[in-house]
Amino acid sequence: MQTVILNMLRYCVYLSFFISMFIFSNSLTFSQINYSMSIDNGRFVGNNIYEFDIYIKSNGDSFELTSYQCVLSFNNNLTKNGTLLFNYIDGTSELTNFPLSSIGINSTDNLNELTFASMPGSDNITDYSKKVGSFRLETSNSFKINKPEISWNFEGMIGTILTGPQYENITQPENHKGSFITNSENVEEAKDFSLNQNYPNPFNPSTTIKFTLMENGKVKLIVYNLLGEIVSELINREMTRGSHEIEFNAAHLASGVYIYRLDIENKFSSVRKMILAK
């Protein structure tokens, strides 16, 4: 009984912190910090479990991440005629301030949304992608009937918000991307490694790079200038088999020709050119 009471008190503290943060978010100083936060590595684990990862990285100078609340919309027919559970997978975060609060399905905005949050803390975010965590959706039905479609949500009483130094609001909705498998057929079609030409090309300032993995592996996707200098490390982590895409924002770079290279351990390497035309 004492444990239950302590957990309830802890939850109330977490909830009051984020309610106060959202109520006063409009008065927080907005800080322009260039970052990317992405949904990635979607995978089906059986017929009724779907897992995915969320990563964060800096697109420029490193910065301090002091708190976050993330809200994800999904196709609500997943909850019809059955149950749906949403959980953070313990021990999967690379942040010291890992997801700890409000984890589950929330209906505050009269819509079913997936939510999770941190407590106040501090993490140094660099241009190396850090995993916020791995997450699991589990349904009593089969995902063969209704496949998950997940996207970021910033609207309503509860929305996605990130804070930087001194708890300044650093949220930039356009920097939140989805890169995940939305159906099992994509996995079956991954019969080889491949790197596609970016689109659009030429581009200004953003372009999308797509690639396919025939098996799980350590992936590096790096952008170079014509002198061979690294200008952006887009991916450097383990990824799952299937089709993936990532957006490259080159707002901080000068016009010109750039090279992007995909390496999957010792199994595959490919290079393509792209043109930034401002």
* Closest to 103 in 3D by CA, of 74, 141, 133: 133
* Closest to 236 in 3D by CA, of 94, 69, 105: 94
Q: Are residues 149 and 21 in the same domain?
A: yes
Q: Residue 269: inside a domain, yes or no? A: yes
**What pLDDT sits at residue 149?**
80
Q: Residue 275 — very low, low, confident or very high, per pLDDT cuts 50/70/90? A: very high
Q: Does 26 or 137 have the greater pLDDT score?
A: 137
Q: Are residues 82 and 171 in the same domain?
A: yes
Q: And the tokens for 118?
A: 């941190």
Sheet holding 242-249: strands in order across?
194-195, 206-213, 242-249
108: DSSP letter: T
Cβ distance 183 to 190 under 8 Å? no
Q: Are residues 172 and 51 in the same domain?
A: yes
Q: Are residues 77 and 99 in the same domain?
A: yes
Q: Residue 20: inside a domain, yes or no? A: yes
Count CA atoms closer than 13 A to 129's CA, side-chain side.
23
Q: Are residues 22 and 159 in the same domain?
A: yes
With a CB cutoff of 8 Å and minimum separation 6, the contacts of 196 are 209, 210, 211
Q: Which of 136-140, 147-151, 212-216 has the lowest mean pLDDT?
A: 147-151
Count of domains forming the chain? 2
**What pLDDT sits at residue 250?**
87
With a CB cutoff of 8 Å and minimum separation 6, the contacts of 138 are 48, 49, 50, 84, 85, 87
- What pLDDT digit, counting tens, does each position of 65-90 carry? 999 999 998 887 777 777 889 999 99
Looking at residue 251, which CATH number applies to its domain? 2.60.40.1930
Residue 250 lies in domain: 190-276
Residue 59 has pLDDT above 80, yes or no: yes
Looking at residue 54, which CATH number applies to its domain? 2.60.40
Provide mean pLDDT across the span 89-112.
Answer: 91
- What pLDDT digit, counting tens, does each position of 6-56 carry? 444 444 444 444 444 443 344 445 567 889 898 887 778 777 888 889 999
Q: Are residues 30 and 89 in the same domain?
A: yes
**What pLDDT sits at residue 203?**
93
Provide mean pLDDT across the span 169-178.
Answer: 88
**What pLDDT sits at residue 191?**
67
Work out the percent of the chain whose per-residue pLDDT is above 70.
Answer: 83
Q: Are residues 167 and 111 in the same domain?
A: yes
Question: What is the chain's mean pLDDT, rounded?
Answer: 82
Residue 104 has pLDDT above 60, yes or no: yes
**What pLDDT sits at residue 189?**
53
**What pLDDT sits at residue 89?**
94
Provide mean pLDDT across the span 170-182.
Answer: 75
124: DSSP letter: E
Q: And the tokens for 4?
A: 């239950």
Q: Are residues 49 and 90 in the same domain?
A: yes
Q: Residue 183: inside a domain, yes or no? A: no
* Closest to 253 in 3D by CA, of 221, 227, 220, 272: 227
**What pLDDT sits at residue 236?**
84
